[in-house]
Structure 1
Amino acid sequence: MIKKIPLRPIVLLLTQLLFYSVFSQDNNQDTLSTLELKPVTVSSTRIRSIETDIPVSVSTIQPPQFHNQQLSVKEVIEGTPGVFILNDNNFAQDVRISIRGFGSRASFGIRGVKIVLDGIPESTPDGQGQIDNIDPGFLGSTEIIRSPVSGLYGNASGGVISFETKMAEESFSEIRLSGGSFGFQKYQMTSGIKKNKLNNVAFLSHTRLAGYRDHSKFNTTLFNNKLTFSPDEKNKINILLNYNYSPEAQDPGGLTLDEVNSDRDQARTLNVEQNTGESVEQGRIGFSYIRELASNQSLQLSSFYTFREFYGRIPFAIIDLRRHFYGFNGAYTYNINKKALIKAGLDLEFQNDHRRNFTNEKGIEGTLIIDQNERFYNSGLYIITEYSPFTKMHLLLNLRYDLINIKGEDNYFADGDNSGDRSFDRLNPLIGLNYSLSRSLSIFANFSTAFETPSLNELSSNPSGSGGFNNNLDPQSTINIETGIKGRAWNKMLYSISLFRIETKNELIPYQLEDFPDREFYENAGSTIRNGVEIGVDLVINNHLRGKINYTYSDFKYKQFITDGNNFSDNRIPGIPQNLFYTELKYSAKSGFKLSAEFQLIGQMYAENANSVKVENFSMLNIRGSHTLSFEKWELNPFLGINNVLSTKYFNNIRINAFGGRFYEPAPKINFYGGVKIKLTH
């Protein structure tokens, strides 16, 4: 059991840091340590700003210098305060990412968190997000907004993860081969061209895995290409290509605790009989153009088109989904003077899904039960103002209006015509203030609202058993208040502390029914309250050692939730641990040898609304190392990693409110990976 963290020593430590940051003189020594800890510029707030000047909680993650397994994006964003990740080993369900609790309800994929790749949305306008087409090996920097910001991004923006893919620093060719436990194999090639006005990076990877549990095979092939062309200093063009083909991702299903104790490796019997799993094919093309109209004005245009073909076999049905997702964004930025900036933009996004569901007859299509076209259209108009009335004060004012139209056209009339449509409009503000007490310390506060509609998949999960939409579901709405500090101490430490309170009405909650086992339905809770504290520390110990320490405290409860005669008011929201602790230590030698260790402690959480099923806390230790051998134009880099060094027994995923007690998906014990990277510079 994790006991409550004693606050007194933490308060004393933070007081000392504040005192030092406010009253000490900045050290001007031009050391390696100082340079590495300088604040960076971020753009996930849709305007370029210095991270320490932004009045919201934003985390920036630079490309990893240490070789990880590169099996999922969890390895990139893990350890960020306020971020909790599950389900990175079941590739039929995708990684479940939650930020301050938003996204925890997802039975598959990502909900409530906006995913952006190279400025183009990966999340569909209805709030669904999949990242099976994002390979960690192709990523550059990553930015995470940890606050609800529908004022910036519209629907389902309880948080934002903005990925940027690699740019070529020089022309190069690279091959990386890796393998490991449970049949893990990965082959990838990267080629970069940097010449005059052209920068292009092409990436191809193939990954396969036999899986820790029975019936959990997975393989996928992924191609990415990013071309950047700057014909002159005033124009910049980006062309983005992405293609992903994953013909097999098996789903071993959830187990009861007795089944886990009997055999952790087993798959659920019904899942094997029904051959549960999925296949996915997805392609995307994106285009963006930036034009400097004058020294203080710029125009930004982007458009994209994505197709996705999904074929999923779940215990009770087979889902054949064809999706077309496309959109346009235009934005105009005007720097009024050195103290003020204004940006106005328009987002248009269109999602068209054709869904056909069949009964599952031992993995083969049976009777057609649903055939419908689903459409989700979102138009969003926003305006952002950044204003500095004084040198030390930064104001961020943002307002966005969204107009949403949802339509369902029923093509299956055996149970009547269940066609219908729904419309919503929302106005969401963001008001933030950042004040610099010194060059080493700033305080910030913000107020924002957000909203989240049910996704098309959630609307089509109708407890009546028929097609059409569940018209009893309403959007959830959120009010967020946040304050915190960001500082630097001894020129070797960057730290941030955020405190927040979030109130949500009509929170969307998953549940299952005895008449439809294994099928997820959704309902609106009355209201929830989230109170939390997030602490992040990055430090440079010396020129060879760097460290990171993060802690998150989450007090997330149902304020009012009464359903079917059950009163869950004052219970904790399931699927979110109250305590999260993460620390990492990295060592780099001049010889090219690198070693890192990361340790995390995941606190106790509940598996269902009644809070009668506890998932006990657990700890994890991962170690990885590599050695770089450099020659005239090429380098050889062997690497080795050990996951779960302590061989902890824990659960990779918790299926919230699962019927029959099938909450648990066991995770692998100690496992290994290794490989080599060969890079040639042209």
Structure 2
Amino acid sequence: MRLKYSIFALIALNANFLSAETINLEQMSVTATKVEKATKEISESIAVVDEKTIEDKNILNIQDALQNIPGVIAESSSNSPSPRLIIRGAGLKARYGVREIMVMKDGVPMTDPDSFTRFDFIDMQDVSSIEVQKGPGSINAVNSTGGVIQLITKSVFDEDKNSIKVGVGNDNQKNVNLKLRGAIDENDFASFTFSSRKIDNSWRDNNEFDTTQATLKYGHIFDDESTIENELSYTESNLNLPASMTREEFEIFKQTGKQHDTSNQWQNSARDSKIVSLNSKYEKEVGNITYKPRFYFNSWEHYHPVTGLINDSDDNKVFGTDLEFNAAHKLFSKDAMFVGGVTLKMDKTNDSKKYQYRDIQTQTVTSGWPPSSVTQIVKTLSNEKGLLAGTEDSQTLLYGTYLMESFKVTDKLGFDISARVDKLKFDIDGNEITTYDYSTKSYKAGIGEYAIDNSFTLLSGKVGSTYAITDNTNIYASIAGANQAPTTSELGENEDLEKSQSVNYEVGLKTRTDDYSSDLALFQNFVDDEIIQIKDANGDSIYDNAGKTDKKGLEYNLAYDLTSSIQVGGAYAYSNFKFDTFNESVRGSLVSRDGNYMPFIPKNQYSLFAAYNLANGFKTRVTARTYGSYYMDNANTQKYEGYDLITDFMVGYEKNSHNIQLNINNLFDKYYASEASKDVYGIESYKAASPRMTMLTYTYKF
């Protein structure tokens, strides 16, 4: 109760303190409501990472862009563009990568219909801004209760200088980026972007990374002023995924900053991929209606050695369209906007294969009565393919429709009402010849031929309202809900999984002035049948519906211009996420976890920053972030203490067409875990965060 009083006192103090300030030209969102709108006018929590921040921090990975946003957890255990993302607890179930969160690029979903996201083919050096919507109910969010991350790339129609950027750093870091853009004639424009990155990560085993990306864009303005913009891109990415550590090995890492010769079985995990993508977006105004159809296609392949088996898939196709329109009209004698559209997306995989590891170290173990022997895998020696373990064909189809009405009743009071309905269908056929048995640490006979034919109807919607307390301060409230379907891999583990239902209640305060910006959000999120990952012995993941979870939280961030040259700010998130009802399976028995805290989510998380920019071109920026303690397991038997004030530093000088800057991440070279967990048998696992990384970058614009 004391916390609630403090929150509402903070709202009142902010409104009173800022009531006399002047109005600022604040950041705009172009995705939250599918039309351009000031973030202060949006009835939900939204964060915008602008182009200057991306450039100043020399952001090359999505986690570097998001890790200081309150309520967002962005951690990479491989020091590469393969982060684990969690928004307000959603995404926690992912073994790796992203679940329950929709990631989009220029309106095109990067997230598969079953909620899996590949970051391999997002070139952050072509991204001009990032918008993050938190919680369920977004008009963009298909099968995503956690929220939406929208990446907006540099449009071929926008005036922009050509540039070349080169960077070098420790651990053999190398980065090259070339951007060319120009007008072919008064109606035709083209741009080309090329990026190449490499890092050895020699401080630990099996963690080299390199990527090559090329993007060609072409845009045309028709005589009726309608436009079409096309993009063709190619990505080749090679990423070695490092092994986790035991508690004893983690203690060695904390002393030395090195991770070598660990005891983990799976020493040769990786994800090597090639991706070709094409998308086209058209925009035309007819009277008060604007039509915005989008069409996209991509073809991808990957070689993905993981725990137990090697995935080899080279025939994957994605087709999709989003047929959107906006209709401007009057309601209550005020300007209003109606947005509607239909979507269709199909993912098709042909003849995907799984293999046993060919090169392994084994040992024979005899146990039981009568005695029986089993050949256990002690360690992999390479990621070369062995015997065929299985084949699979799959097709995932998603189609739906959405609509939204945004209007004002008075000059101060506005509403956003949105809803969408989607159908998700899985059609999977396969043959499991052999599988890896976690209990015996060996391969065993599989289940043979199998088929999964399942479908889910997914509903989401939101009712939100904003009210202008003053000319520069708005208060908002919203109620939003959405369904989350299980993924194909989760259904393979448990065909009885049900879709979850997330309902979020939120109030907040947003202020924008000439020298001050702040956002405060207070929310409570109830989830029924939440899909939870259960860690079995040796890292095996089992999925189950948790019953009910209750997530309460507060998020606050601010930026303040002390002078025309100095800006300071910070962000804070308080998270109280618990299981209301959850029975966890332990050795075949159900154990109640009712009232326990959800693992990996700290109660307290905050960041601070200071930036200094002079008119003569000198600039510097310091950012520090702290991640509080959290429980390592559903049973709440042990905590990891998190980390304090991991500091990133930038200093640079920009003059005319030249820019040189030094970026140092983890300035004080602290050794800590990006993730710590504990399975139901008490076995601890730690994934190391990167020690100090330094890069010197030179950019020339012409």
TM-score w.r.t. structure 1 length? Answer: 0.90
Contact 1:486 1:497 in 2 (8 A): yes
Contact 1:341 1:387 in 2 (8 A): yes
Contact 1:254 1:655 in 2 (8 A): no
Match of 2:373 in 1: none
d(CA) in 2 for partners of 1:394 and 1:557?
Answer: 34
Residue 636 (structure 1) shift? 1.9
Match of 2:251 in 1: 261
Aligned counterpart in structure 1 of residue 22 of structure 2, from 21, 27, 33: 27
Match of 2:408 in 1: 388
Residue 288 (structure 1) shift? 0.8
Residue 438 of structure 1: SS of its match in structure 2? coil
Contact 1:73 1:135 in 2 (8 A): no
Deviates more, 1:11-20 or 1:376-385: 11-20
Residue 13 (structure 1) shift? 5.7
1:418 equivalenced with 2:418 (yes/no): no
1:68 equivalenced with 2:57 (yes/no): yes
Match of 1:378 in 2: 398
d(CA) in 1 for partners of 2:339 and 2:686?
Answer: 47
Deviates more, 1:594-603 or 1:329-338: 329-338
Change (3 A) 1:143 1:171: closer
Aligned counterpart in structure 2 of residue 301 of structure 1, from 273, 281, 293: 293
1:534 equivalenced with 2:571 (yes/no): no
Match of 2:389 in 1: 369
Code of the residue aligned with 1:450 in structure 2: it is: A
Code of the residue aligned with 1:79 in structure 2: it is: N
Contact 1:550 1:581 in 2 (8 A): yes
Aligned counterpart in structure 2 of residue 237 of structure 1, from 205, 225, 228: 228
Residue by residue over 1:174-195, the C-alpha shift from the partner in whole angstroms, topping out at 9 and shown as x without a partner, is 2111111222111111112246
Residue 45 of structure 1: SS of its match in structure 2? coil
Contact 2:473 2:510 in 1 (8 A): yes
Residue 75 of structure 1: SS of its match in structure 2? helix
Match of 2:525 in 1: 502
d(CA) in 2 for partners of 1:196 and 1:383?
Answer: 36
CA RMSD of aligned residues (A): 2.4
Match of 1:487 in 2: 511
1:313 equivalenced with 2:273 (yes/no): no
Contact 1:274 1:315 in 2 (8 A): no
Change (3 A) 1:601 1:376: same
Change (3 A) 1:280 1:656: farther
Deviates more, 1:415-424 or 1:577-586: 415-424
Contact 1:151 1:450 in 2 (8 A): no
Contact 2:219 2:229 in 1 (8 A): yes
d(CA) in 1 for partners of 2:261 and 2:636?
Answer: 24
Residue 656 (structure 1) shift? 6.8
Aligned counterpart in structure 1 of residue 97 of structure 2, from 109, 113, 131: 109
Code of the residue aligned with 1:52 in structure 2: it is: K
Residue by residue over 1:161-210, the C-alpha shift from the partner in whole angstroms, topping out at 9 and shown as x without a partner, is 11111136545332111111222111111112246334433211111111
Residue 50 (structure 1) shift? 2.2
Structure 2 counterparts to residues 607-618 of structure 1, below 5 A: 607-618=632-643
Match of 1:451 in 2: 483
d(CA) in 2 for partners of 1:582 and 1:319?
Answer: 38
Residue 449 of structure 2: SS of its match in structure 1? coil
Code of the residue aligned with 2:69 in structure 1: it is: T
Structure 2 counterparts to residues 246-285 of structure 1, below 5 A: 246=237, 248-263=238-253, 264-267=257-260, 269=262, 275-285=268-278
Code of the residue aligned with 2:280 in structure 1: it is: F
Aligned counterpart in structure 2 of residue 217 of structure 1, from 208, 212, 227: 208
Residue 530 (structure 1) shift? 0.5
Aligned counterpart in structure 2 of residue 132 of structure 1, from 120, 141, 145: 120
Code of the residue aligned with 1:71 in structure 2: it is: L
Residue 665 (structure 1) shift? 1.2
Contact 2:101 2:144 in 1 (8 A): yes
Residue by residue over 1:448-481, the C-alpha shift from the partner in whole angstroms, topping out at 9 and shown as x without a partner, is 1111112223333x3xxxxxxx312222211111
Residue by residue over 1:488-529, the C-alpha shift from the partner in whole angstroms, topping out at 9 and shown as x without a partner, is 35x311111111010111212223434xx4443322211111
Contact 2:481 2:503 in 1 (8 A): yes
Residue 547 (structure 1) shift? 2.2
d(CA) in 1 for partners of 2:268 and 2:671?
Answer: 27
Contact 1:88 1:652 in 2 (8 A): yes
Match of 2:443 in 1: none
Residue 52 of structure 2: SS of its match in structure 1? coil
Residue 20 of structure 1: SS of its match in structure 2? helix
1:399 equivalenced with 2:447 (yes/no): no
d(CA) in 2 for partners of 1:39 and 1:275?
Answer: 45
Contact 2:676 2:687 in 1 (8 A): yes
Match of 1:342 in 2: 338
d(CA) in 2 for partners of 1:250 and 1:317?
Answer: 15
d(CA) in 1 for partners of 2:263 and 2:327?
Answer: 60
Residue 129 of structure 1: SS of its match in structure 2? coil
Aligned counterpart in structure 1 of residue 149 of structure 2, from 154, 158, 161: 161
Contact 2:137 2:419 in 1 (8 A): no
Code of the residue aligned with 2:602 in structure 1: it is: P
Match of 2:374 in 1: none
Match of 1:465 in 2: none
Match of 1:31 in 2: none
Residue 487 of structure 1: SS of its match in structure 2? strand
Match of 1:474 in 2: 498
Deviation >6 Å, runs of 4+: 4-11
Residue 240 of structure 1: SS of its match in structure 2? strand
d(CA) in 2 for partners of 1:302 and 1:7?
Answer: 44
Residue 662 (structure 1) shift? 4.5
d(CA) in 2 for partners of 1:106 and 1:518?
Answer: 13
Aligned counterpart in structure 1 of residue 613 of structure 2, from 588, 594, 597: 588
Residue 329 (structure 1) shift? 1.0
Match of 1:466 in 2: none
d(CA) in 2 for partners of 1:50 and 1:639?
Answer: 32
Aligned counterpart in structure 1 of residue 663 of structure 2, from 613, 617, 641: 641
1:622 equivalenced with 2:642 (yes/no): no
1:174 equivalenced with 2:170 (yes/no): no
Match of 1:188 in 2: 177
d(CA) in 2 for partners of 1:627 and 1:588?
Answer: 9
d(CA) in 2 for partners of 1:313 and 1:589?
Answer: 49
TM-score w.r.t. structure 2 length? Answer: 0.88
Contact 1:575 1:656 in 2 (8 A): no
d(CA) in 2 for partners of 1:85 and 1:561?
Answer: 26
d(CA) in 1 for partners of 2:497 and 2:553?
Answer: 28
d(CA) in 2 for partners of 1:148 and 1:436?
Answer: 24
d(CA) in 1 for partners of 2:394 and 2:261?
Answer: 32
Residue 497 of structure 2: SS of its match in structure 1? coil
d(CA) in 2 for partners of 1:173 and 1:101?
Answer: 41
Code of the residue aligned with 1:454 in structure 2: it is: P
Residue 115 (structure 1) shift? 0.4
Residue 538 (structure 1) shift? 1.8
Residue by residue over 1:255-283, the C-alpha shift from the partner in whole angstroms, topping out at 9 and shown as x without a partner, is 11111113452256466875221211111
d(CA) in 2 for partners of 1:476 and 1:404?
Answer: 14
1:543 equivalenced with 2:575 (yes/no): no
Code of the residue aligned with 2:599 in structure 1: it is: P
Q: Which runs of no fewer than 5 residues in structure 1 stay unpaired? A: 29-33, 463-469
Deviates more, 1:588-597 or 1:325-334: 325-334
Change (3 A) 1:41 1:453: closer
Change (3 A) 1:579 1:448: same
Residue 153 of structure 1: SS of its match in structure 2? coil
Q: Which runs of no fewer than 5 residues in structure 2 stay unpaired? A: 360-382, 434-445
- Quote the sequence identity (%): 22
Residue 64 of structure 1: SS of its match in structure 2? helix
d(CA) in 2 for partners of 1:128 and 1:51?
Answer: 28
1:553 equivalenced with 2:574 (yes/no): yes
Residue by residue over 1:627-670, the C-alpha shift from the partner in whole angstroms, topping out at 9 and shown as x without a partner, is 1132xxxx221211222122222112345748773521112333
d(CA) in 2 for partners of 1:531 and 1:186?
Answer: 41
Aligned counterpart in structure 1 of residue 473 of structure 2, from 441, 455, 460: 441
Residue 11 (structure 1) shift? 6.5
Change (3 A) 1:645 1:383: same
Deviates more, 1:231-240 or 1:475-484: 231-240
d(CA) in 2 for partners of 1:639 and 1:659?
Answer: 48
Contact 2:249 2:262 in 1 (8 A): no
